[in-house]
Amino acid sequence: AQRVTQPEKLLSVFKGAPVELKCNYSYSGSPELFWYVQYSRQRLQLLLRHISRESIKGFTADLNKGETSFHLKKPFAQEEDSAMYYCALSGLRGAQKLVFGQGTRLTINP
Amino acid sequence: GAGVSQSPRYKVAKRGQDVALRCDPISGHVSLFWYQQALGQGPEFLTYFQNEAQLDKSGLPSDRFFAERPEGSVSTLKIQRTQQEDSAVYLCASSLRTSGSYEQYFGPGTRLTVT
């Protein structure tokens, strides 16, 4: 079964502190993993994907196949990082549906 | 260019009414997806189109839900005899490609409230 688990519904950290949003998945095969973000009053948008292995807005995420995890990290949180974050997966072949976690609301306190 | 647009943005329906939700994908995008997002949950897949062909409708919760994309562009999600459990945000997403690494671009959603 395909499943994405984000164990924290809410996460609050202070500005300048490190941030880690957890994501675990189950999938039979090799999935593609994504992080989507939704800022207040904006639409859902792609933040990063594991295949590109890039850092976006200071965020990185490493796919750990052994632990089936794809945690999102940022060393120094900024107030503009406050948003709803969704971890998602899809198959690697073809245009595939996304399977989302329930999301984590990140709040950065000044 | 313009992103994915959806209309109406908000819809209130009385239980038992039929509703139609529209999605205008990004021009030239071949793939189109519909998702349902209940309050406090992540989006859940409903159905997928490649051009006008509906290739996957495994996520449609019941036969009251019907989607079409007759000309391979605009798509409509229709819900017949709405029930309270249909209350959710309905998201549409489009993607340029049909295979390989791709990005889905989301619309703003239609918030459906069934009273």
As a whole number of angstroms, the distance between CA B4 and CA B25 comes to 5
Residue of A nearest to B99 (CA): A94
Residue of A nearest to B110 (CA): A43
Cβ–Cβ contact B107 with A under 8 A: yes
pLDDT in tens, A31-43: 889 999 999 999 9
What pLDDT score was predicted for residue A95? 61
- DSSP E strands in B1-115: the ranges are 5-7, 10-13, 19-24, 31-37, 44-50, 53-56, 65-68, 75-79, 88-95, 105-106, 110-114
As a whole number of angstroms, the distance between CA B6 and CA A62 comes to 34
A27-31, A81-85, B83-87 — which is least confidently predicted? A27-31
Residue B98 clears pLDDT 90, i.e. is over it: no
CB-CB under 8 Å, B102 with A43: no
What pLDDT score was predicted for residue A96? 79
Q: What is the mean pLDDT of residues A75-101?
A: 90
| Side chain identity, residue B35 | Y
Assign B20 to helix, strand or coil: strand
As a whole number of angstroms, the distance between CA B114 and CA A92 comes to 37
Residue A4 clears pLDDT 60, i.e. is over it: yes
Assign A50 to helix, strand or coil: coil
**Which of B40, B50, B91 lies at the smallest CB-CB distance from A95?**
B50
- Other CB atoms within 10 A of residue B26 CB: 17
CB-CB under 8 Å, A100 with B43: yes
- Residues in chain B closer than 8 A to A88 (CB atoms): 42
Residue A25 clears pLDDT 70, i.e. is over it: yes
